[in-house]
Chain A
Amino acid sequence: MVELDSGYRDWHGRLRPAWWACWPIAWTSVRLVLRRKLFWGLLGLALVDFLFFFALIYLKAQVSVQNPAVGRFVDQFLTSVTGAGKTYRDFMFAQGTVTMLLLAFAGELLVGGDYERGGLTFYLSRAVARRHYVLGKLLAIGLLVTMITALPALILFIEYGLLASSLAYFAENWRIVLGILGYGAVMAVSLSLLLFTLASWLHKSVPLVMAWACIFVLLPAIGEILRHTYDDRHWRLLMFWRNLRLLGSWCFGALTDNDTELAPAAAGIVLAVWVMCLLAAIPRVQAVRVVS
């Protein structure tokens, strides 16, 4: 046993209100995820997609400046990089796969581990209420989602504006920023609630990945089969990620006629998922295990 320091010193300071604790909870959780090599690999994958878009915007701008005729020709093929809201919406939608993978594996680290190893008792025995713990964890998941989706989309928007012929691009397309933030917020809130709830029930990575796969792979597959079978587009509402995309399109003001028909139902489903997640998560946070 190591010899103890002889003196204990009192601490005199003012304690902050409990709301301040949400940030350390969130930041600690994000830091735990970023300490694993696996997640750096997944973030690298997300970066590949971002760099691809980044390079396309750059090349397109360079070609347009150096040879406008070629630029117009290229524009006919590069319809996904037009600088309109649709460009950023599609980019954020495309980040879905990596986001799903990252969250599926991070669930245990972010939330499940607290239930498995008594971390919940640690958090709740401090000067925080259950709502602060939940908010901190949701914030952590939301930060990860934003890091992969909304943040790079904003960087692409800035890049596009800076490489455009004039800075008027920013003034003309300010609504795109709102679209990015809105779509980002919808994704962050939905995925945070869903992951928190699942991880608080399932704890471990394997069942969590399976449940995640059911929601984001199996259900969409079933939805697609049913859509073909019954020739009814409403079956697509089983695709949760696509429902989020519809809400994203609304945020960007890029709803097509087909989308407009499905958007209210998609919004209802997303809202219902939020409510169900909250209802399912509340008892899990109230159930602090007896320590000894």
Chain B
Amino acid sequence: MPLFELIDVTHDYGRVRALRGVSLSVEAGAIGLVGQNGAGKSTLLQILLGLIRPSQGVARVLGLDVRAAGVRVRGRVGYMPERGALVPGLRGVEFVALAGQLSGMPRLQSRRRAHEVLSYLGLEEARYRNLEQYSVGMKQRLKLAAALVHDPQVLLLDEPTAGLDPEGRSAMLGVLRALAQRPNRSLILSSHLLGDIERVCQSAVILDRGTVVRTGRIEEFRQAAAKRFRIRCSGDARELLGSLRRQGVEVEAAPGEDAAKLHLPPTWSTRDVFAESLRHHVLITSLEPDEEDFAMAYRRMLATP
């Protein structure tokens, strides 16, 4: 059973179309939802939660139609929104226990579990403080505790590292990574910070202006760079690079530099590059794979129509 499934989902806010006919089926695991502001990430999360009804199409989470079984879906999902979503005046432990009760936990169990989760997230000493006295980082962890309290099958996290300092961000990502590795549990992390996605998730869905640009495993995004190399030659390599370019190789060479980047066509291998260099009597001093991280792959994908 897929973790979630979208069939031709479109959503409009008045005249603004936030999602455009998105069809998607995602298997369980740690999934990153990547996109710039306005890409439709939050709309997608809210549709998955059943908080908003799509203008068109069907959304299913864990096999349940969110339109018909929204409450059941939310009972199996823990949601951590980016902003707000706190109840001022409550103490930390009360807030988390309330979240548990609202998810259907009995009162005493939710209270006990709230203490447990707050301890797990390092908020043990702050649990009796009023929410107004929490720092931004603490509020983020508190919201994560509220999402975790009923031990949901799926965690939906909307920009969980927003507003955190580098140390706090690193700690939060560590926790998320640990949570993502729990058996039979899934995590959907929405973020525009590609480093966060890369560190926590196994696969990603890339959204741009309301459409899905690409889905796949993070390694697959990196593998897209397998045909990319950095070449360094001794002597004048202009003739060689020109010849490569004419044969369909993408060449990025800065004038005056002895190194260039090559993107080989699918039928090419490094052997063909060496053969070409022999033909032009150019000595290749190094030919290394051009390592591309997820961020670079993402930018390349968005740039490619």
Pick the residue among B74, B83, B175 that contacts A4 (CB under 8 A). Answer: B175
Pick the residue among B52, B101, B182 that contacts A8 (CB under 8 A). Answer: B182
Q: How far is A103 from B211 in the complex, measured between Cα atoms in Å?
A: 47
Answer yes or no: B242 CB below 8 A from chain A CBs.
no
Contact partners of B85 in chain A: CB under 8 A:
118-119, 121-122, 125, 291
Contact partners of B87 in chain A: CB under 8 A:
28, 32, 113-114, 117, 119, 122
Contact partners of B99 in chain A: CB under 8 A:
122, 126
A126 and B74: CB pair below 8 A?
yes
Contact residues of B: prevailing secondary structure: helix
Give the interface segment out of B22-30, B115-123, B228-236, B256-264.
B115-123
Answer yes or no: A16 CB below 8 A from chain B CBs.
yes
A4 and B90: CB pair below 8 A?
no
A1 to chain B, nearest CB (A): 4
8 A Cβ contacts from B59-108 to A: 70-72, 74-75, 79, 81-90, 94, 98-99, 101-107
| Residue in B closest to A118 when the chains form the complex, CB atoms | B84
In the complex, the number of residue pairs spanning A and B with C-beta atoms less than 8 Å apart equals: 147
A interface size (C-beta, 8 A): 42
B49 and A125: CB pair below 8 A?
yes
Pick the residue among A2, A10, A15, A124 that contacts B122 (CB under 8 A). Answer: A2
Contact partners of A17 in chain B: CB under 8 A:
104
Answer yes or no: A79 CB below 8 A from chain B CBs.
no
Contact partners of A118 in chain B: CB under 8 A:
81, 83-86
A125 and B51: CB pair below 8 A?
yes
- A68-109 interface mask toward B, CB cutoff 8 Å, 1 = contact, 0 = none? 000000000000000000000000000000000000000001
Given A17-B104, A127-B71, A127-B75, the answer on whether A113 and B88 have CB atoms closer than 8 Å is yes
B145 to chain A, nearest CB (A): 11
Answer yes or no: A5 CB below 8 A from chain B CBs.
yes
A8 and B179: CB pair below 8 A?
yes
Answer yes or no: A129 CB below 8 A from chain B CBs.
yes
- B152-186 interface mask toward A, CB cutoff 8 Å, 1 = contact, 0 = none? 00000011001000011011001100110010000
Contact partners of A28 in chain B: CB under 8 A:
87, 90, 94, 98
Contact partners of A127 in chain B: CB under 8 A:
71-72, 74-75, 102-104
- B27-47 interface mask toward A, CB cutoff 8 Å, 1 = contact, 0 = none? 000000000000001110110
Answer yes or no: A7 CB below 8 A from chain B CBs.
yes
B120 and A21: CB pair below 8 A?
no
Answer yes or no: B243 CB below 8 A from chain A CBs.
no
Answer yes or no: A52 CB below 8 A from chain B CBs.
no
Contact partners of B103 in chain A: CB under 8 A:
15, 126-127
- B202-246 interface mask toward A, CB cutoff 8 Å, 1 = contact, 0 = none? 000000000000000000000000000000000000000000000
Contact partners of A66 in chain B: CB under 8 A:
none
B42 to chain A, nearest CB (A): 5
B83 and A24: CB pair below 8 A?
no
B82 and A291: CB pair below 8 A?
yes
Answer yes or no: A37 CB below 8 A from chain B CBs.
no
Pick the residue among B98, B124, B137, B159 that contacts A24 (CB under 8 A). Answer: B98
A selection of 6 A-B contacts at a CB cut-off of 8 Å is A4-B174, A21-B104, A119-B87, A122-B146, A129-B70, A291-B158
B residues with a Cβ closer than 8 A to A are 13, 41-43, 45-46, 49, 51-52, 70-72, 74-75, 79, 81-90, 94, 98-99, 101-107, 109, 113, 116, 119-125, 137, 146, 149-151, 158-159, 162, 167-168, 170-171, 174-175, 178-179, 182
Which 6 A-B pairs rank lowest in CB-CB distance, beginning with the nearest?
A: A118-B84, A15-B104, A2-B122, A126-B102, A127-B75, A11-B151
9 extra interface residue pairs, beta carbon distance < 8 Å, beyond A20-B101, A118-B84, A127-B74: A4-B121, A4-B175, A5-B122, A13-B109, A24-B102, A25-B102, A125-B79, A125-B85, A292-B42
